[in-house]
Amino acid sequence: MLPRGIALLGIVVLLGGMVLPVTHAQPESMIVIAQGTDITSLDPAFSKVRNDDNVYLELFDTLVARDNQMRYVPLLAESWKIISPNLWQFKLRKGIKFSDNEPFTADAVKFSIERVFDPALNAPGFLKGFVTFDHVQIVDPYTVNIATKTPATLMLPWLTYVYVMAPQYYKQLTPTQAGLRAVGIGAYTLKEWVHDDHLTITANPSYWGGRPRIQTITFRPIPEAGTRVAELLSGGADVVVNVPPDQMDRINRSSLASVKTIEGGRDVFIGIRNDRPQFKDTRVRQAMNFAVDVNTILKNVVGAGNRMATLVNAYANPEVKPYPYDPEKAKALLAEAGWKLENGGLTKDGQPFSVTLDTPNGRYIRDKEIAEAVGSYLQRVGIQVKVNPLAWPVYAKKMFEDVTPADMYLLGLGSSFDGQSEIQYVSKTYAYNPTFYNDPTFEKLYEELNATVDPKKRTDLLYKLQQIAHDDPPIIYLYKQVDFYGVNKRLSWEPRRDELIVLKTATLK
């Protein structure tokens, strides 16, 4: 059985730092992973959700990865150093080939990074929001310098999402073709993808990190949680995500599977369009936070967790406390902001306080039910809410491609566990910020944080930014997601805080 860790060339890096040789045993059979949604594309430049990464990280590799403790470790890069705040150098591993036998060199790194920022590709903004990219310089075939226009304080978090692609292969493809094919450098190769039905990958016998033990992995999109659980208990799936709390005992009582739980870093919240007239007053957004009894929703709908006070996981400000449930305070703030409560509804200048709340259905644990509960609490203080459940592909297109979020929307954003990239979610500098929040003091401090490398000063700035985003809330703060996985007892695999389902080191008992 392989130890847990990140597979490197001929070794496995354990959590405690120990290294052991990879066991090159014959692969074993097949497993099925049931996620709530299908992937959006096989082109990593167009990734939008963590489900995509669970496929990408088996087909492609990155320069840098995070281990189970969320520490940065080398992958395709042997090492790195900071030449200046705007210039990082990476030494690359040698003797590695892509699955089409194209050699891995600095050319592949340069191509993969520059491709993300190619205007002709018009990739979404997610990967463009971490650093102010300038250029990649090839020092020699196995050394690259990555230059940015401003200090690259998020270089390592960014590179965990930049999957290295085979340049000669992808230069021949149109963007549409690239979204349907995959030639990577990972532990698995693509066998087939039938959209909205299944995606199957097979072990790469020449993987540079050691051939994986499991021969075939199939990812199946199953939006309904009950159907996922039924598949697990019938033996049709080996890992299912987002197990509903009321199904946990049923799974644990079975002889086939058990539930594995881990406190994750995903921030689940209700986004607010701060540019809409009814939301421009800070008191209104504060009132909405006071109006929602999040702890009761967690107890009765989600089944676990606590209300969050800030978007930040690492470097959370201990002085920032969650909003308490206080509907009377909410009503008072709304009245101060000029909203009159008449016949159960709020009006101002003759206009009702009526909004739409979009929510995905099946992407997160009980997402539709959570949105409905939030809407119910807001209606108790006079805000008329229409909850609009959408299938994930429709929701994702509206949010990530069309960039036309509703007045409010339920969303869960994953964590990089570094503080800055989490608080950046509500900065106008972020390429994807559907809150349209724009607080001048916040932006000035964020600009200072982005240019600061001193750890103590960075922590101080992060604390101040969290306080501003709490007192002038751009969102309704809900909770940090607790992740529940149903796992077949034959599979040796452990969940991670970042929700990545790493399978290249998994084994079957």
Give per-residue pLDDT as tens, 361-397.
988 889 999 999 999 999 999 999 999 999 988 998 8
Q: 263-483 maps to which CATH number? A: 3.10.105.10
CB of 217 closer than 8 Å to CB of 503: yes
Strand pairing partners for 482?
Answer: 263
Using a CB cutoff of 8 Å and minimum separation of 24, what contacts does 248-255 make? 248/303, 248/484, 251/486, 255/489
CA distances from 441 to 103, 168, 313, 420, 472 (A): 48, 46, 22, 16, 11
As a whole number of angstroms, the distance between CA 361 and CA 447 comes to: 36
- Spatial CA neighbour of 468 closest among 489, 507, 442, 494: 442
Q: Where are the domains of the chain?
A: 6-222+490-508, 263-483
Q: What is the pTM of this model?
A: 0.78
Q: Please report the pLDDT score of residue 296 as a whole number.
A: 96
Q: What is the mean pLDDT of residues 244-257?
A: 94
As a whole number of angstroms, the distance between CA 146 and CA 163 comes to: 15
CB of 127 closer than 8 Å to CB of 45: yes
Strand pairing partners for 413?
Answer: 267
Confidence of residue 306 (pLDDT cuts 50, 70, 90): confident
Residues of the chain by 3-state class (helix, strand, coil), percent to 5: 30, 30, 45
Query: For the residues of 140-180, what is the DSSP string, one character each?
Result: ETTEEEEEESS--TTHHHHHTS-B---HHHHTTS-HHHHTT
Q: What confidence tens digit (pLDDT) does each residue in 434-493 have?
A: 899 999 999 999 999 988 888 899 999 999 999 999 999 999 999 998 899 999 999 999
13-45: burial string, b at 16+ Cβ within 10 Å, e else: beeeeeeeebeeeebbeebbbbbbbbbbbbbbb
Element (DSSP H or E) covering residue 287: helix 282-291
Q: What is the mean pLDDT of residues 43-58?
A: 90
As a whole number of angstroms, the distance between CA 236 and CA 388 comes to: 32
The residue that leads in pLDDT, 186 or 303, is: 186
Tokens for 21?
A: 């040789």
Q: Please report the pLDDT score of residue 348 as a whole number.
A: 96
Query: For the residues of 109-124, what is the DSSP string, one character each?
Result: HHHHHHHHT-TTT---
Given a cut of 90, is residue 29 above it in pLDDT? no
Confidence of residue 67 (pLDDT cuts 50, 70, 90): very high
Confidence of residue 143 (pLDDT cuts 50, 70, 90): very high
- Spatial CA neighbour of 414 closest among 126, 196, 65: 126
The residue that leads in pLDDT, 452 or 14, is: 452
Q: Which residue bears the tokens 């990280």? A: 57
CB of 431 closer than 8 Å to CB of 117: no
Confidence of residue 418 (pLDDT cuts 50, 70, 90): confident
As a whole number of angstroms, the distance between CA 177 and CA 180 comes to: 5
The residue that leads in pLDDT, 401 or 151, is: 151
What is the average pLDDT score of the chain? 91
Given a cut of 60, is residue 272 above it in pLDDT? yes
Q: Please report the pLDDT score of residue 28 as a whole number.
A: 52
Tokens for 96?
A: 């590695």
Confidence of residue 5 (pLDDT cuts 50, 70, 90): very low
Which parts of 396-474 are beta strand (E)? Answer: 408-413
Fold of the CATH domain 6-222+490-508: D-Maltodextrin-Binding Protein; domain 2 (3.40.190)
Lowest mean pLDDT among 5-19, 218-232, 402-416: 5-19
Phi, then psi, of 370 in degrees rounded to 5: -65, -45
| DSSP label of 2 | P
As a whole number of angstroms, the distance between CA 196 and CA 179 comes to: 14
Q: Please report the pLDDT score of residue 294 as a whole number.
A: 97
Helix, strand or coil, per DSSP, at residue 57: helix
Phi, then psi, of 214 in degrees rounded to 5: -95, 125
Confidence of residue 12 (pLDDT cuts 50, 70, 90): very low
Lowest mean pLDDT among 103-112, 278-287, 294-303: 294-303
Confidence of residue 26 (pLDDT cuts 50, 70, 90): very low
Centroid of chain to Cα 258: 25
- CB atoms < 10 A from the CB of 191, how many? 13
In this structure, the strands spanning 351-352 and 345-348 are: antiparallel
Percentage of the chain lying above the pLDDT 90 cut = 75
Helix, strand or coil, per DSSP, at residue 202: strand
Q: Which residue bears the tokens 């240019």? A: 451
Confidence of residue 3 (pLDDT cuts 50, 70, 90): very low
Name, in order, each residue with C-beta under 8 angstroms of 342's C-beta and a sequence gap of 6 or more: none
In this structure, the strands spanning 491-492 and 133-140 are: unpaired
